[in-house]
Structure 1
Amino acid sequence: VFRQILLIGGSNPIEDVEKFKTQGANIVIATPGRLEDMFRRKADGLDLATAVKSLDVLVLDEADRLLDMGFEVSLNTILGYLPKQRRTGLFSATQTQELEKLVRAGLRNPVRITVKEKGVAASSVQKTPARLSNYYTVILFKGDIVCIFCAYIAHSLIKLNTPSISSFVHRCGRTARIGNQGNALVFLLPMEESYVNFLSINQKCPLQLYPPVKDVVDVLPKLKAMALGDRAMFEKGMKAFVSCVQAYAKHECSLIFRIKDLDFAALARGFALLRLPKMPELRGKTFPDFKQEAINTDSIRFKDKNREKQRQKWLADLKEKETPLKKNFIKNKAWSKQKNKKERKKKKASKRKLDEESDVDNEDLNELLNDTRLLKKLKKGKISEEDFDKHLSSAGSSRPKPAEVDSSDGDGE
């Protein structure tokens, strides 16, 4: 009896360790990140490196996507634990340069097996299936609506957001399988048409211009009505807009897909938004061409009663946690200014205290200062000792004599 175990992110790794230790497994199905983590669980009693010494077959499915998602380091780590003598199957819908590197690093004496369709010659130029037709169309902003059309065709792939270069080829390869004819259509703005030549040269993926469609029906009023009637539709439109903008902000072909050239107002109208979302890319910008609906969007309810009940509960909990902000908020002064102010107050207080405690009047203090000045002049030789004594004697004679206190008993004797 063959036992299998599933090791993926989101589950408790300790439980996975215990399950593997108690039950074992003949077939391990795992994501790269969790499998790499299991190899490092020796401290938890799992010696997976020893257990896989008898490994016979390794299968890497969707290998191009594994590399595109950033698992190259994890894959190399895992391959380092596995025995060299094994059979390895590497499956991919597309052939990329990164995939070729993995083949050279992880496979010994590789044999390439290409699945060909009957009656269709293999192409050494195009990387996507031979029965797949890749199209592009340019969308134009006209007036208050964006002319975007989506027609459902069997075995077709329609892409509004242009993915990364490697993802583009992979996603196109999702169609035109098992002998079926496939179509892929990507929407581009007028300033993005250079992407067509870029794909043709860089990824060997030629695109044909899709013929323009006439008499396009304006469905935006219906979409807005749906958003007003169901919060689920309202939120989907907002999320789609945010996803589209962030795709531009993070696109690896930023020279072609430039976010600064994006017409946010027209894009928002195309998504039938009732208002613009709060996001970093829109901060500090104004959009006079976008007219926000005169409605409080918080009042839009879910058609699904359970979802609406959960939302109302969440709003009630949020209201209880809110604390009123102080209206008369005064910004703190700079620390250096506060320190200087404190020092000045301290000096004034010290001086006031000295003045209060001192029993020397101002006249005596002035005489003391004059005597000090005379002494300095004497030391510097500016006056003689005779002059010094004369000044002191004259100053002393001009001073008022202290009052005599009568200590008698008051009988006049």
Structure 2
Amino acid sequence: MVNKDWIKVTPALSKPVLRCIHKQGFKTMTPIQAAVIPLILSCKDVVAEAVTGSGKTLAFVVPMLEMLLKKGKESPLRKDFVYAVVISPTRELATQIFQVIELFLKQPELSHITLTLLVGGRPIDVDVESISKGAQLVVCTPGRLEDLLSERKQLNLAGRLKELEFLVLDEADRLLDLGFSATLTTILQYLPRQRRTGLFSATQTKELQDLVRAGLRNPVLISVKEKSTISTPLALENFYVIVEPQDKFLFLLNFIRNRKTMKGLFFLPTCACVDYWADVLPLFIPDMKMFAIHGKMKQKRHKILEQFREADNTILLCTDLLARGLDIPEVEWVVQWEPPTSPAALVHRVGRTARGGAKGFSLLPLLPTEDSYVPFIKTNQKVELKDWRKSTDEIKISQKVRDKVLTILHEQQKKDRGILDKGQRAFVSHVQAYSKHECNLLLQLKELPLGHIATSYGLLKLPLMPEIKDEHKKQFIGPKEEIDFNSIPYKDKQKETSRLQKLEEYKKTGIWPSKKKKKMVQSQPWQQAKQNKEERKERKKKRKEAQKAEGKRGKKRRAVTQEEIDELAADVALIKKLKKRKITKEQFDDAFDVNK
């Protein structure tokens, strides 16, 4: 039995596609599907904007398969050609789209269409082999597709794309946010102009308009919103709560404990925060399954996400890596540690719940200094946050509970230096991330009570960083007894053996042995980092050519010997040690033979 509602809206749909739609339980079309599918089937380029969770994936998968079926009837599809490409910003979203298409290709009438997934995190030769066997439909991330187009001459992927029928840029604004603008420009140069293009996004930006002008021909602009006053699904209720900074973790802990059954996403500011709380949080909620995922994980991400999908009464600790496109219908709650760096990211985060018309909730704890964020986000993103205090009285936290939780956090760090290090890194990265907020007029780092926040992290000591002032040191509540930090061991035996060896050397020399410190470089988008690398190579090449030309003109310079360079480096190292008080004035004078 086929779905009559879909037939009424799009009578051109074939029976195999309709049967799969019916089997998957898609009884009625969403507004974005009803608007976009007929346009794509009539060979129009489309730019579609719709709230998250509105069914954008099906809006391009259905017409894509219809186009391939129609072309296959005119002449058999060649195995060595790629007829449709879907580009997605992250591996997780690309994998999700791949799985949706796989469901359709299980129909006997569609099983002849070959499909492949091209993403990072695995050897590129695997993807080369996959395409060589035949891939008429490709789902990919932009970086991997560009590598295959530009560096694999024996594959000749550009030649396989000359019959391309349909290109989809999913979550296009996120593609640009991640720095893939130049990559997309490169990819578009390899693709034929005579193609259909669909660009799908939850928000419109100026950069997105530039991409539209570059990659689409006379596109039809579709903007579907459920209500003019909101930008999130109707079934989603968004809450905020004002909490004291030292009580934020305690409040969130009580909130999670008081949900008898809960499947939720917990968004944290940085990868380091995810690592720390993933170690600490299970101690307080042993009955709940806890998963963690962030962008620095490579091979594990897919496996962790699948485990979370299958689990009940569970929480996934994550970064904004999962703020886009992730579709897990069972997610009931989205909890956030603090506002995201970008106001638009809030819309995407909370959109991970209330998918497909299901009911969902989100909660955002705010500090007293951040209360102006509520009216700001309503004006800026049309997201109305309700006061959680009007629906519950869970905010009351006794001093006894504070002391107990703080003691547990301190004890864990005393037992394992690994957790101590993670806590320090988490706090430092959190402060650094806060300083990069786009709405920094409202969320100002100088107003943060960093001592209280460090207390909520359960740190044993405040890290050495310029942001920490005397007032913050007074706010901080650490362990009551004095601690010999050198005596705290690593649980990891290999790390502990290495640490003890260094400690022994430190006791003898007064200088802690360490590797040469790498210059700290601010994180960059992938494409920008690649471009900078190429520019450095080009500058180096020009310098060599200039030196060569100068040598030919007969200009000679006295060569500096390696012995002189080593001597200068040793002198500079001694001066630095003296400044850092790693050596005494007497040791410095002896090294320079001052007293002789």
Out of 194, 199, 203, the position equivalent to 1:95 is 203
Alignment-mate amino acid for residue 371 of structure 2: E
Taking structure 1 as reference, are residues 86 and 259 closer, same or farther at Cα in structure 2, changes over 3 Å only?
same
Taking structure 1 as reference, are residues 31 and 190 closer, same or farther at Cα in structure 2, changes over 3 Å only?
same
Query: Could you tell me how far apart the structure 1 residues matched to 2:452 and 2:118 are?
Result: 45
Taking structure 1 as reference, are residues 139 and 296 closer, same or farther at Cα in structure 2, changes over 3 Å only?
same
**Partner residue in 1 for 2:348:** 170
**Partner residue in 1 for 2:187:** 78
Tell whether 2:392 aligns with 1:215. Answer: no
**Partner residue in 1 for 2:374:** 196
Taking structure 1 as reference, are residues 54 and 225 closer, same or farther at Cα in structure 2, changes over 3 Å only?
same
The structure with the largest alpha-carbon Rg is 1
**Partner residue in 2 for 1:335:** none
Tell whether 2:150 aligns with 1:40. Answer: yes
Residue 245 of structure 1 deviates from its aligned partner by 0.9
- SS of the aligned residue for 1:287 comes to helix
- SS of the aligned residue for 2:438 comes to coil
Pairing 1:371-390 to 2, within 5 Å after superposition: none
More contact order relative to length (CA 8 Å, sep ≥ 6): 2
Out of 329, 333, 340, the position equivalent to 1:156 is 333
**Partner residue in 2 for 1:240:** 426
Instruction: Give the gaps of 5 or more residues in structure 2.
Output: 1-111, 263-331, 512-582, 591-596
- Equivalent residues of 1:66, 1:72 under 8 A apart: yes
Pairing 1:58-137 to 2, within 5 Å after superposition: 58-92=167-201, 94-97=202-205, 101=209, 102-103=211-212, 105-108=214-217, 109-110=219-220, 112=222, 122-137=226-241
Alignment-mate amino acid for residue 188 of structure 1: L
Alignment-mate amino acid for residue 51 of structure 1: R
Taking structure 1 as reference, are residues 141 and 167 closer, same or farther at Cα in structure 2, changes over 3 Å only?
closer
Give the TM-score normalised by the residue count of structure 2: 0.47
Residue 225 of structure 1 deviates from its aligned partner by 3.2
Query: Could you tell me how far apart the structure 2 residues matched to 1:112 and 1:291 are?
Result: 54
- Equivalent residues of 2:450, 2:472 under 8 A apart: no
Alignment-mate amino acid for residue 139 of structure 2: I
**Partner residue in 2 for 1:185:** 363
Out of 31, 50, 63, the position equivalent to 2:141 is 31
**Partner residue in 1 for 2:483:** 295
Query: Could you tell me how far apart the structure 2 residues matched to 1:298 and 1:314 are?
Result: 13
- SS of the aligned residue for 2:334 comes to strand
- Equivalent residues of 2:455, 2:478 under 8 A apart: no
Instruction: Give the gaps of 5 or more residues in structure 1.
Output: 115-120, 333-413
- Equivalent residues of 2:251, 2:395 under 8 A apart: no
Query: Could you tell me how far apart the structure 1 residues matched to 2:190 and 2:469 are?
Result: 49
- SS of the aligned residue for 2:431 comes to helix
Give the TM-score normalised by the residue count of structure 1: 0.65
Query: Could you tell me how far apart the structure 1 residues matched to 2:430 and 2:588 are?
Result: 40
Aligned-residue CA RMSD (Å): 3.8
Residue 78 of structure 1 deviates from its aligned partner by 1.9
Query: Could you tell me how far apart the structure 2 residues matched to 1:73 and 1:311 are?
Result: 42
Residues 72-127 of structure 1 show CA distances to partners (whole Å, capped at 9, x for unaligned) of: 332233233222333444444x333358625565444347485xxxxxx9212211
Query: Could you tell me how far apart the structure 1 residues matched to 2:116 and 2:486 are?
Result: 46
